[in-house]
Structure 1
Amino acid sequence: MTPADLSLTVLHAVRRAVDDGALRVDVPPVVKVERARPGGVGEYASNVALTLARSAGRTALDIAGILEERLRDAPGLQAVAVTGPGFLNFTLRPEAGGELVRAVREAGESYGSGTALAGVTVRFADLTESRALLVTETVVRLLRSQGADARFRGDEGMGDGMGEGMTDESSVDPRSVAEPVAQPVEQPANQPVDQPIRQPVAPRPDERIHVHPGAYDPGTLGVDAARWALLRPAPQDRPLDGPPLLVQHERNSLFRVRYAHSRVRRLLVNAAQLGFEPAYETPVHAPELLGVLGDHPVALLTAARHRAPDRVARHLEAIADALLAFQHTVLPLGDEKPSAAHRSRLALAEAAGTVLAGGLSVLGISAPERI
């Protein structure tokens, strides 16, 4: 990782913090990174937290802590430390891209799933409006991907096992019913004095996601475009216009994401015809692509916590854009022979395609082999 790569990585962390709502500042056009001074910690340092403190209305130490959380697992970084009034200090990792590619290959399309919400129980209210039903179904899938026990009333018969064994009683979060507490009320004549009367506590009401209504129209648009039209905007925003989603053009975000996945499948076929397969053998210079792939687990978790499938869709767009900018470097050109660099780039592209397919699956959208 070069200083320029590191600067992009830190800038990406600032943008993520703003998107997550953790910071309310204008994202700067560039983040300055310089060599750590003698006696400092790590190899590089940045004062970005200090420069954002006034506009954010928070201390530089608070901002540095927010950014440190988002940089902790960034590809290429071995360690991040906060020093002094809020300086960020970085130690680079000799090899990080290979670890990311291996993690994606091992997890497959489930890359990004985890147990961060294990033990959390979420129950959603009964639904009738089509967009509310679609958004809530997708949020339930997101919550389950992070280990939560999530259901909603009326989900019987839907995919992913939702609705199995649902009853009215099962829609109550058992952890939301507080342990009854003894109340100082008069004891009945036949009630032993040492057994206090316990008053039941009402369960927490089922959760609802505020959704701008919209018609689900798979008959006209097909399932994929119909779902993207309702899930790509934030739930409280108007749905996308359906017909433009059927046009194969770069302005069509759904086409761009699905095309990027199909492009990876084509690269793998072409590489096989040239006699080589994906294998991450040497570091690949692709900070933007590595950054968004490394962000995928956080993107899924944030979308689950905020009940916001649109965050997944926007993240997939970012992966697709980074991949499409990178894919021209994958195959040998002209009489060039396949090398370790080509095999490594192909492995990274394959990982990006896998993440795109998994993310689309979370949204209930297909990832075609060809477009």
Structure 2
Amino acid sequence: MTPAELSEALRAALVAAVDDGTFALDPSAVPAQVRVERPRQREHGDWATNVAMQLGKKAGTNPRAFAEELARRLGDHPGVAKVDVAGPGFLNITLDTAAAGELARTVVDAGPAYGRGTVLAGERINLEFVSANPTGPIHIGGVRWAAVGDSLARLLQAAGAEVTREYYFNDHGEQIDRFARSLLARAMGAEAPLDGYGGQYISDIADSVIATAVADGQPDPRTLPEPEAQEVFRSRGVDQMFGEIKAKLHDFRVDFDVYFHEDSLHESGAVDRAVARLRELGHIYEADGATWLRTTDFGDDKDRVIVKSDGNAAYIAGDLAYYLDKRERGFDRVIIMLGADHHGYIGRMMAMCAAFGDTPWVNLEILIGQMVNLVKDGEPVRMSKRAGNIVTIDDLVDAVGIDAARYALARSAASSTLDIDLDLLVTATNDNPVFYVQYAHARTVNVARNAAEAGVDRADGFDANLLDHPSESVLLGQIAGFPGVVAHAAELREPHRVARYLEELAGSYHKWYDQRRVAPFGDEVVSDTHRTRLWLNDATRQVLANGLELLGVSAPERM
């Protein structure tokens, strides 16, 4: 019996009690899904729910009495061994061995679909992440968002949402001009401007711009007047830098559905349309020769200039146009992932959302990620050989590989500062979390391989009653919890919950492996016990693979 099946059985018992008048409860108060979870203490049963405490008072009765009636009704359900009432109204539910063990076959039959659900079905979500300026390699903070953002997109899709991954291409503004001036200076053999960009990559791109321009039959940009030369380095340099960023992200298993150019907002008139919409809604006023958005009406600490007195659009004007564009493209939710230096940005963005008539933290969500520190030989890694003053995606991948990099970046809450020990992530020990989980998957494959060689075939028999060892009960319970972990992680926007779950599952599997054999030993004859254990082994393999896939990490068959 899966948690979803148990949840439905609880709901059916509630509905029946409401229909026959036992519970004086409005039918609409019965939840569409009754939440069940693993009890903290294993001896309390397989599953627990506090639904009686949620609904008892609404039904005009004592929650414990409500729970006792619900326990009586649920106790007759096939697969339920017993139901105990604890404390003020908790229900502790124990399944019979066959009902619990049947999950192994359910998981294997479901395959990659196991764990996927519908909790976010019907939602169209635009998820914007990374969005690094095309003025240099992706720094370590952006790499964290790449890992977390892509994992979050996978999670949201697994929960039933329609997700569009979007990259906001910052190709408008002063930073692009500084980048072009830096390339031109380096090409001419001069030092970069004081406000420019440094690092070996600037020389590499400058050389490439010259080479590609000449190869295309264009004059060497160094021979052009300075304004024309700077424009060549701007257009070609940005294209080359962004092409490199996209390639590095692709190699990191991160691809986007939409690359949105900031410049298009200004060229298409989207900014003017956004201002006009807000003016119609009565939130725009003129003062001191500038155009202002009255964001203080929506909780911001001050009103914001959107068109400056010189007629140029302020930075927030692009945000207004971009948010409206996303909503007009049909997205129900807009999720934006930003770095730690953008924390002060939240108030004005939520005020902007409200000014358009939307609901902050519903139509617009902002996730703030904290800093990442790399440590090697006990010392912090502070700069890249290529970029000069920052640590980049190449530095991390070169040090530990893609799997370890993605896993390490996704296994901690993005809202907390993260220290990554590069030495630990290349060790083949249980202290290395990605090795621990991947090794568990490889072990399941090896067990199945050895079982096949010994003549153990799943198709020849399955008896769920034979999964009666305490280690099997624990492992089945862990497997049963996977869909709930996926749904909860998606709703909370926290991929790290999947990583931590996988580590617990791996631990339960390793303990089971130490206590129960799948392949026969010595003169032992192949029996349904071996075959049934193989089902459990393969169910664990499937869940480990499904979980690693959500994190964009490979599930190796050999280690």
Answering whether residue 332 of structure 2 is matched by residue 307 of structure 1, we say no
Confirm or deny: 8 A CA contact 1:101 1:347 kept in the other structure. Answer: yes
Tell me how far 1:109 sits from its aligned partner. 2.2
Answering whether residue 135 of structure 2 is matched by residue 132 of structure 1, we say no
Task: Write the distance in 2 (CA, Å) between the matches of 1:236 and 1:281.
Answer: 46
Q: 1:82 to 1:121 in 2, by over 3 A?
A: farther
Answering whether residue 109 of structure 2 is matched by residue 106 of structure 1, we say yes
Q: 1:342 to 1:348 in 2, by over 3 A?
A: same
TM-score (norm 1): 0.69
Answering whether residue 257 of structure 2 is matched by residue 163 of structure 1, we say yes
Confirm or deny: 8 A CA contact 1:60 1:86 kept in the other structure. Answer: yes
Q: 1:111 to 1:122 in 2, by over 3 A?
A: same
Task: Write the distance in 2 (CA, Å) between the matches of 1:152 and 1:275.
Answer: 46
Q: What residue identity is the alignment partner of 2:456?
A: F
Q: 155-164 vs 265-274, which deviates more? A: 155-164
Name 2:525's counterpart in structure 1.
Answer: 337
Matches within 5 A, 1:234-273: 234-237=413-416, 238-273=418-453
Aligned residues: 301
Matches within 5 A, 1:219-234: 219-234=398-413
Task: Write the distance in 2 (CA, Å) between the matches of 1:307 and 1:106.
Answer: 28
Q: What residue identity is the alignment partner of 2:368?
A: H
Task: Write the distance in 2 (CA, Å) between the matches of 1:343 and 1:263.
Answer: 17
Tell me how far 1:314 sits from its aligned partner. 0.7
Q: 242-251 vs 291-300, which deviates more? A: 242-251
Task: Write the distance in 1 (CA, Å) between the matches of 2:502 and 2:371.
Answer: 24
**Match among 26, 29, 38 for residue 13 of structure 1:** 38
Task: Write the distance in 1 (CA, Å) between the matches of 2:144 and 2:539.
Answer: 32
Gaps of 5+ in 1: 2-10, 16-28, 34-43, 51-58, 178-198
SS at match of 2:522: coil
Task: Write the distance in 2 (CA, Å) between the matches of 1:89 and 1:323.
Answer: 25
**CA RMSD of superposed structures (Å):** 4.0
Q: 1:152 to 1:274 in 2, by over 3 A?
A: closer
Q: 1:355 to 1:240 in 2, by over 3 A?
A: same
Tell me how far 1:276 sits from its aligned partner. 1.4
Name 2:91's counterpart in structure 1.
Answer: 88
Whose strand fraction is larger, Structure 1's or Structure 2's?
2
Answering whether residue 505 of structure 2 is matched by residue 347 of structure 1, we say no
Task: Write the distance in 2 (CA, Å) between the matches of 1:144 and 1:316.
Answer: 19
Task: Write the distance in 2 (CA, Å) between the matches of 1:200 and 1:45.
Answer: 43
Confirm or deny: 8 A CA contact 2:129 2:149 kept in the other structure. Answer: no
Tell me how far 1:268 sits from its aligned partner. 1.0
Percent identity between matched residues is: 35
Tell me how far 1:123 sits from its aligned partner. 2.8
Name 1:218's counterpart in structure 2.
Answer: 397
Q: 199-208 vs 285-294, which deviates more? A: 199-208
Confirm or deny: 8 A CA contact 2:408 2:434 kept in the other structure. Answer: no
Task: Write the distance in 2 (CA, Å) between the matches of 1:109 and 1:227.
Answer: 21
SS at match of 2:511: helix
Task: Write the distance in 2 (CA, Å) between the matches of 1:126 and 1:91.
Answer: 43
Confirm or deny: 8 A CA contact 2:444 2:538 kept in the other structure. Answer: yes
Q: 1:245 to 1:60 in 2, by over 3 A?
A: farther
Q: What residue identity is the alignment partner of 1:368?
A: P
Name 1:365's counterpart in structure 2.
Answer: 553
Task: Write the distance in 2 (CA, Å) between the matches of 1:353 and 1:45.
Answer: 26
Deviation string, structure 1 residues 210-238 (Cα, Å, up to 9, x no partner): 21233642222110001111011111221
Tell me how far 1:166 sits from its aligned partner. 6.9
Matches within 5 A, 1:293-304: 293-304=479-490
SS at match of 2:421: coil
Q: What residue identity is the alignment partner of 2:478?
A: V
Name 1:317's counterpart in structure 2.
Answer: 503
Name 2:155's counterpart in structure 1.
Answer: 142
TM-score (norm 2): 0.47
Confirm or deny: 8 A CA contact 1:117 1:147 kept in the other structure. Answer: yes
Task: Write the distance in 2 (CA, Å) between the matches of 1:321 and 1:76.
Answer: 27
Name 2:4's counterpart in structure 1.
Answer: none
Tell me how far 1:280 sits from its aligned partner. 2.6
Q: 216-225 vs 119-128, which deviates more? A: 119-128
Q: What residue identity is the alignment partner of 1:349?
A: N
Deviation string, structure 1 residues 60-94 (Cα, Å, up to 9, x no partner): 76xx89xx9xx99xx96478586994152546346
Tell me how far 1:176 sits from its aligned partner. 6.5
Task: Write the distance in 2 (CA, Å) between the matches of 1:342 and 1:269.
Answer: 13
SS at match of 2:115: coil
Q: What residue identity is the alignment partner of 1:163?
A: D
Confirm or deny: 8 A CA contact 1:119 1:147 kept in the other structure. Answer: yes
SS at match of 2:365: coil
Q: What residue identity is the alignment partner of 1:224?
A: D
Higher-Rg structure is 2
Task: Write the distance in 2 (CA, Å) between the matches of 1:148 and 1:367.
Answer: 25
Whose helix fraction is larger, Structure 1's or Structure 2's?
2
Gaps of 5+ in 2: 2-35, 54-61, 133-141, 170-245, 262-321, 335-354, 373-391
